[in-house]
Amino acid sequence: MFFNSILKMKIIKQCLVLLVSLIFATSCNTKNKPMATIKIPVAKKNPKELTKHNDVRIDDYYWLNDREDKEVIAYLEEENAYYNTLTAHTKDFQTTLFEEMKGRIKEDDASVPYKQNGYWYTTRYEIGKEYPIFARHKGEEKAAEEIMFNCNELAKGHDYFNLGGISISSDNNLAAFGVDTISRREYTIKIKNLTTEEVYEDVIENTTGSSVWAADNKTLFYTKKDPVTLRSDKIYKHKLGTAATEDVLVYEEKDETFSSFIYKTKSKKYIVIGSSSTLTTEYRFLETSNPDGEFKIFSKRKRGLEYSIAHYGNEFFVLTNKDKAFNFKLMKCDENATEADHWKEFIPHREGVLLEDIDIFKAYYVLSERENGLNNLKIVRWDTYAAYYLPFENETYTAYVGANPDFDTNILRYGYNSLTNPSAVIDFNMDDKSKEIKKEQEVLGGTFDKNNYKSERIWATARDGVKIPMSVVYHKDTKLDGSSPLLQYAYGSYGYTIDPYFSTVRLSLLDRGFIYVIAHIRGGEYLGRKWYENGKLLQKKNTFTDFIDCSTHLIEQKYTSKDHLYASGGSAGGLLMGTILNLAPELYNGVVASVPFVDVVTTMLDESIPLTTGEYDEWGNPNVKDYYDYMKSYSPYDNVVAQAYPTILVTTGLHDSQVQYWEPAKWVAKLRDLKTDSNLLFLDTNMEAGHGGASGRFEALKEVAKEYAFLLDLEGKIKI
């Protein structure tokens, strides 16, 4: 029986190769010219035995784990050629989509200026340019502009370019900044004199890009990365005008499950070193006026104790889960007595309200809360404790505190948008409760009217009885009778919440009859901290089954059907895609998996891979058998079987530091070997980019256009 099934599969595959060659040689062409035949790429098998806990796994494609191997590059290029050839008939449509998406975006756009230390800072773009210009002006908002960095000039000669982590000295004269030209999030820090425009010879390599100036305007603290694992593990002190080799190590995080970072409090009084893992945090602090002093531990780490700190007056405010406050509470302590046993409760824990953040001003503090999945902003006076909430009336909105670096102000800047309402930046007067819309996102092209779209929040019942919320948006003319195409998206990991947000890009799907759904599955924090806890470690499978149960609900309620349901997710959301494809492939007509984390067991056992050890609290440590077994039971790569799969598009980047390219490459190779259907399977590898894709403002839209063209092609909706 087993032999016959293998023989049958081989015959099917041989027929598929011939069928694909014939079909695409005669029908799929550009400009009506016949296309040459192309065979389905087949990666060679070179079995490697992987043993753990007396369990043996055979990995036929482990050899793909070497980006320096010419044979590996040749295979990736073969996959790219296959993808490009078989989607050649969509290329003109991709261009149409790209121009359409680009046409909705204001090219000569600029952020709303924010005030910091006497200057107004803004980021703007120019027509025809891909990269931002960082500028500032002094005094009034309309004063003469001073360009700090024109990234369009700096990016010349680079396939990828990203400038970030701009840090301005307290005298406003110096700017430290980080540059990444590889897309592995390894930044080189440089220093520019904003008065003379001279870029100093100080060069600090292999950093996170972020840095903090001490009050002397000469001392710079920064975070360095391990060159192999890319874990941010060391904090150094650099003196202006000296070589990086002379920099002083001020802190080293030796626990491989922790990463370190550094920042300055809003009060500007302290420089803070943070160390964090998924479940535990620890901080050290030093007065900015004493850069050569010793950092003092705020409160020693205790496994499971999470906290963050904000400084005000002579006190620290501590947002923490101390004493089983799973949705967090706010405590405070004197700045000279900061250990946890000195913390006093300021705002108690509330079971139904997730306390996400606190922003401190001279006369007010603002709490960012989440209740029943919805964002709330609560404003409280320090002197009277009189409090009120900003009013939001929709059920599919996103509201958040924006850039508020100025401490002595009564103006709160916040952002608001929804699935149908473009983003707005709003200045709210906390004294008289008046507000001014500083900017509302312009949707160009002349066809957008928010009244043409509808949004709602619906709830599916998971197989264990839990209600799963979904945010839904569609054009008002779209039929809800089961005949409409629907794209279901989710992430579902690390407690990261995907709020319902507006997207001009998404309009290209909605205007062509697609319904778009964000599934707020367990693993995020949409419904509070427990929503996250119930979607991680040994409960991770809830994330996957929640998504599938949402899909079933959407079909049952006639939003769509199996023939028109699509799914997409990236990174950890790509893991989600890989798992649902193994568990319920029959539900979907097509799936897009972007930079997918699909080889969970092998990756989590390899401590040399960037960021692995810090992930143990999220996925579990496979060196422990219970976690190994559970991980193996859902890992997409380990659970590919001989069954029919829908049409799949997989994307990755050769230089990805978050999810190594070989995970999706191996996964596609194994799918090709085992799947029993005739549906197309594509692997598209960006040979220049990393985890975030292309770096240009509009270049990234080309990647979205590829994905949308893939979906619309399956729906027969390609029209130039």
The amino acid occupying position 573 is G
Q: Of the residues 617, 656, 684, 713, which is catalytic?
A: 656
Q: What is the CA radius of gyration of the chain?
A: 26
Active site residue 511: no
Phi, psi of 122 (to 5 degrees): -145, 160
Q: Of the residues 571, 635, 657, 695, which is catalytic?
A: 571
Smallest CA-to-CA distance from 364 within 426, 307, 433 is with 433
How far is residue 449's CA from residue 484's CA, in Å, rounded to a whole number?
A: 21
DSSP conformational letter for 46: -
Q: How many CB atoms lie within 10 A of CB 403?
A: 15
Q: Where are the beta strands (DSSP E) in 293-410?
A: 296-297, 307-312, 315-320, 329-334, 344-347, 353-360, 364-371, 374-381, 387-389, 397-401
Angle (CA) 635 585 636, round 5°: 10
Active site residue 691: yes
Burial bucket for residue 256 (CB in 10 Å: 0-12, 13-18, 19+) = middle
Contacts (Cβ under 8 Å, ≥6 apart) of 535: 492, 493, 521, 522, 523, 524, 542, 543, 546
The amino acid occupying position 24 is F
CA-to-CA separations, 365 to 317, 337, 408, in angstroms, rounded: 11, 22, 12
Long-range contacts of residues 401-408, Cβ cutoff 8 Å, at least 24 apart: 401/357, 401/359, 401/366, 401/368, 401/377, 402/114, 403/114, 404/114, 404/359, 404/361, 405/114, 405/115, 405/116, 405/266, 406/114, 406/115, 406/116, 407/266, 407/267, 407/360, 407/361, 407/362, 408/361, 408/362
Contacts (Cβ under 8 Å, ≥6 apart) of 457: 373, 395, 396, 469, 470, 471, 472, 500
How far is residue 293's CA from residue 287's CA, in Å, rounded to a whole number?
A: 8
What is the distance between the terminal CA atoms of the chain, rounded to a whole angstrom? Answer: 50
Q: Of the residues 238, 311, 349, 691, which is catalytic?
A: 691
Q: What are the beta bridge partners of residue 329?
A: 320
DSSP conformational letter for 131: S
What sign for the dihedral angle of Cα 590, 596, 599, 604? negative
How far is residue 540's CA from residue 595's CA, in Å, rounded to a whole number?
A: 20
Q: Are 301 and 280 in contact (CB under 8 A)?
A: yes
Contacts (Cβ under 8 Å, ≥6 apart) of 504: 101, 104, 105, 422, 441, 443, 448
Angle (CA) 368 457 348, round 5°: 25
Smallest CA-to-CA distance from 567 within 555, 558, 559, 576 is with 576
Q: What are the beta bridge partners of residue 177?
A: 190
DSSP conformational letter for 583: H
Active site residue 275: no
Q: Are 51 and 625 in contact (CB under 8 A)?
A: no
Q: Give the torsion through C-alpha atoms of 498, 694, 120, 238, to 10 deg.
A: 100
- What six digits make up the tokens of 424? 């707005």
Q: What are the beta bridge partners of residue 371?
A: 353, 374
- What six digits make up the tokens of 161? 């370019």
Angle (CA) 477 482 486, round 5°: 70
The amino acid occupying position 559 is Y
Which residues are known catalytic residues? 571, 656, 691
